[in-house]
A = this chain, B = another copy of it.
Amino acid sequence: MKELKGAAVFGQSGGPTSVINSSAAGVFLTALASKSITAMYGAANGIKGILDEKLYDIGKEDPEELLYLKNTPSSALGSVRYKLASPEEDETDYKRLLEVFKKYNIRYFFYNGGNDSMDTCNKVSKYMQKAGYECRVMGVPKTIDNDLFGTDHCPGYGSAAKYIATSIMEVYQDARVYDKGSIIVMEIMGRNAGWLTAASALAGIKGAGPDLIYLPELPFDKEQFIEDARRIAKANNGNCMVAASEGIKYADGTYVADSGVRDKFGHAQLGGVAGTLGNILKEAIPEYRVRTIELSLLQRCASHCGSKRDVEEAFNAGKTAVRMALKGMTDYCVGFERVMKDGNYSCKMKLIPLSEIANTEKKVPRSWINKKGNYVTDKFIEYALPLIQGDVKYPREDGLPRFARLKKVTVRKK
Is A283 part of the contact surface with B, judged by Cβ < 8 Å? yes
- A73 an interface residue at 8 Å Cβ cutoff? yes
Residue of B79, B169, B301 near A401 (CB, 8 A) is: B169
A302 within 8 A of partner (CB): yes
> Which of B279, B301, B304 contacts A174 (CB under 8 A)?
B301
Contact B301 A173 (CB under 8 A): yes
Q: Find A291's partner among B208, B297, B385, B389 (CB 8 Å cutoff).
A: B297
CB distance from A210 to the nearest CB of B (A): 14
Binds B, one of A34-42, A127-135, A160-168, A188-196: A160-168
B45 adjacent to A403 (CB under 8 Å): no
Say whether A307 faces chain B, with CB atoms less than 8 Å apart. yes
The reply to whether A179 and B265 contact each other, CB–CB distance below 8 Å, is no
Let me know if A177 and B307 touch, CB within 8 A: no
Closest Cβ neighbor of A18 among chain B residues: B170
Q: Does A349 contact B (CB under 8 A)?
A: no
Looking at the complex, which one of B166, B175, B203, B300 makes contact with A304 (CB distance below 8 Å)?
A: B166
Central interface residue in A80, A81, A261, A389, by most chain B CB within 10 Å: A261
Which range holds the interface residue count of chain A?
35 or more
For the complex, is A372 an interface residue (Cβ under 8 Å from B)? no
Q: Are A171 and B264 in contact (CB under 8 A)?
A: no
Known: A178-B79, A179-B80, A261-B264. A173 touches B72 (CB 8 A): yes
| In-complex Cβ contact of A170 among B262, B294, B304 (8 A) | B304
- A residues 6-46 in Cβ contact with B at 8 Å: 12, 16, 45
Q: How far is the CB of A361 from chain B (nearest CB, A)?
A: 22
Q: Which residues of B contact A171 (CB under 8 A)?
A: 297-298, 301
In the complex, what's the smallest C-beta–C-beta distance from A276 to chain B, in angstroms? Answer: 10
| Of A115-123, A332-340, A392-400, the one with at least 4 CB within 8 A of chain B | A392-400
Choose one: B81, B175, B388, B403; the contact of A173 (CB below 8 Å): B403
A206 to B179, CA, bound (A): 42
On chain B, the residues within 8 Å of A12 by CB distance are 177
Once the chains bind, are A202 and B261 in contact (CB under 8 Å)? no
A401 touches B170 (CB 8 A): yes
The answer for the CA separation of A387 and B176 in the assembled complex, in Å, is 28
Residues B174 and A300 in contact, CB atoms below 8 Å apart: yes
Looking at the assembled complex, report how far the CB atom of A311 sits from the nearest CB atom of chain B, in whole angstroms.
13
Task: Give every chain B residue within 8 A of A396 (Cβ-Cβ).
Answer: 391
- Give the docked Cα–Cα distance between A12 and B265 (Å): 45
Is A205's CB within 8 Å of the partner chain B?
A: yes
Distance between A300 CB and nearest chain B CB, rounded to angstroms = 7
**Which residues of B lie under 8 Å from residue A80 when comparing CB positions?**
178-179
By a beta-carbon cutoff of 8 Å, the part of chain A in contact with chain B is 12, 16, 45, 48, 72-75, 78-81, 162, 165-167, 169-171, 173-179, 184, 202-203, 205-206, 208, 259-265, 269, 279, 283, 291, 293-294, 296-298, 300-305, 307, 385, 388-391, 396-401, 403
